[in-house]
Amino acid sequence: MKKRKRMIILIIISVLLYIIIVKIDYTLSKVNSSPIFAIPLIKYRDGGTIKYYGLGYIVIKYNTIGGRNDTVFKFWFIK
Structural domain spans, the chain: 2-75
| Mean of pLDDT over the chain | 91
pLDDT higher at 76 or 61: 61
Distance CA 23, CA 55 (A): 12
Buried b (16+ CB within 10 A) or exposed e, 13-43: eeeeeeeebbeebeebbeeeeebebbeeeee
Q: What mean pLDDT comes out for the span 36-54?
A: 92
Q: Determine contact, residues 61/34, Cβ cutoff 8 Å.
A: yes
Model pTM score: 0.81
Residue 45 has pLDDT above 90, yes or no: no
